[in-house]
Amino acid sequence: MRKMLAANCGLIMTGSLLFNGSAWAADTPESADLEALVNDTIAPLMAEHRIPGMAIALSINGQQHYFNYGEADQEAGTPVTEETLFELGSISKIFTAALTGYAQSSGALSLSDPASQYLPALEGSAFDEISLLELGTYTAGELPLQFPEAVQNEEQMIDYYRQWQPASPPAAIGSTPTRA
């Protein structure tokens, strides 16, 4: 729940910066003015939602600006830096859907293509019969949402997927997906 709240807050903050920052598009803002705008937007939201750390990156007229707040690891007191990695969680679905839609509209792929066509290491597995659309809509026959703890690297991931079998035939598009 806390990760969802942080992710939603991140979207709200980013949106407010983008819309407030659009007034700056005609002219490149002074660094001090931009920093004040970001600080005035982020600090109250972090306090209100008890967000321990956050990184903001803006690109205005091709110029990059980075702002780091709080701690990446509260126990160790490690500050957030430009190199801190944050979990995107479900927000990544937005990017995946947008890029997939663009790829389909430009002819780079078809949602009816088998998944193994795009990951040849899975050829000869159940993924020969599972379409990209079925993967994207979670109707591929109860594909687990998380890897088992034992899967620790790419080779183990490929082995896991090669051995995986759908619990049932892929569900029809539009039906309620089942979860493992």
Kindly list the catalytic residues. Answer: 90
Residue 54's closest CA among 19, 93, 11, 24? 11
97-125 burial: b if 16+ Cβ within 10 Å, else e: eeebeeebeeeeeebeebbbeeeeebeeb
Dig out the tokens for 4 from the structure.
């969802």
166-175 burial: b if 16+ Cβ within 10 Å, else e: beeebbeeee
Burial class (CB in 10 A: 0-12, 13-18, 19+), 19: exposed
Dihedral of CA atoms 144, 93, 134, 111 in degrees, nearest 10, equals: -150
